[in-house]
Chain A
Amino acid sequence: QSALSQPASMSGSPGQSITISCTGSTNGFDDDDYVSWYQQHPGKAPRLILYEVSHRPSRVSDRFSGSKSGNTAYLTISGLLAEDEADYFCSSQIDITVLFGRGTRLTVL
């Protein structure tokens, strides 16, 4: 079954950098540049933070960056702030198939 795997939880201290991984098992994921990342605070709707692996909407802080190597995409958050504490989801779209990872809960200690 096609899936995107993320760590269930991660934590970091203010000012640190963390990297969340997203590993795809679906055919074509390693060639796919249509990976996006979403941030979701409790009780709120998801918010786009990266698209096409590493592109950032203008409203999103440059502390958020993305990369991809083979079948794994990465979201890096540098200079952690308390407001970064949230759930982070990766997503991939191949043809008409849209997949989401189960999400990573980031705790800022």
Chain B
Amino acid sequence: EALLVQSGGGVVQPGESLRLSCEASGFSIGTYAVAWVRQSPGKGLEWVSAISGSGNVTYYADSVKARFTVSRDNSEKTIFLEMTNLRVDDTAVYYCTRGPGHWFDPWGQGILVTVCS
């Protein structure tokens, strides 16, 4: 069974940085793209970033471009989201999710990132 387990997150002040991790198991990680999706009460689900199976291609939403960096270590079966210069409106539950096609399955359990002063 494909499974994604997330770690990282927490409470930071505006301008600070945080790194999220997403450990995959139960499937050949290098075969699949992985995306990050966040959910905040005011905005619903928002696609944030994605990385190809090889890690050679990355994508970002305009709202996080130049501040967030997605990467992966397939040998460690882990995908990372490095978030810098965090803003209050980055506060959300962040999910990593596998993209086998034009859909997302499965999803990690989610991790809360709170940015406040």
Contact = CB atoms under 8 A, between A and B. Distances in A.
Contacts of B88: none
Contacts of B37: 46, 100
A103 B45 contact: yes
Contact of B44 (A48, A52, A98, A103): A103
A34 B103 CA distance: 8
B102 A93 contact: yes
Contacts of B109: 45
A96 B58 CA distance: 10
Q: Is the interface of A mostly helix, strand, loop or mixed?
A: strand
Interface in B60-117: 95, 97, 101-110
Given A96-B59, A103-B45, A48 B105 contact: yes
B35 interface: yes
Contacts, number: 56
Interface in A30-66: 34, 36, 38, 45-48, 51-52, 57
B102 to A, nearest CB: 4
Contacts of A102: 44
A48 B99 CA distance: 11
Interface residues of B, number: 20
B47 interface: yes
Contacts of A36: 102-104
Contact of B102 (A34, A38, A46): A34
A24 interface: no
Interface of A: 34, 36, 38, 45-48, 51-52, 57, 89, 91, 93, 96, 98-103
Given A34-B101, A51-B102, 14 more contacts: A36-B103, A45-B95, A45-B108, A46-B37, A48-B103, A48-B105, A48-B106, A57-B105, A91-B103, A91-B104, A93-B103, A98-B35, A100-B47, A101-B44
8 contacts: A38-B104, A45-B95, A45-B107, A46-B45, A46-B104, A98-B35, A100-B47, A103-B44
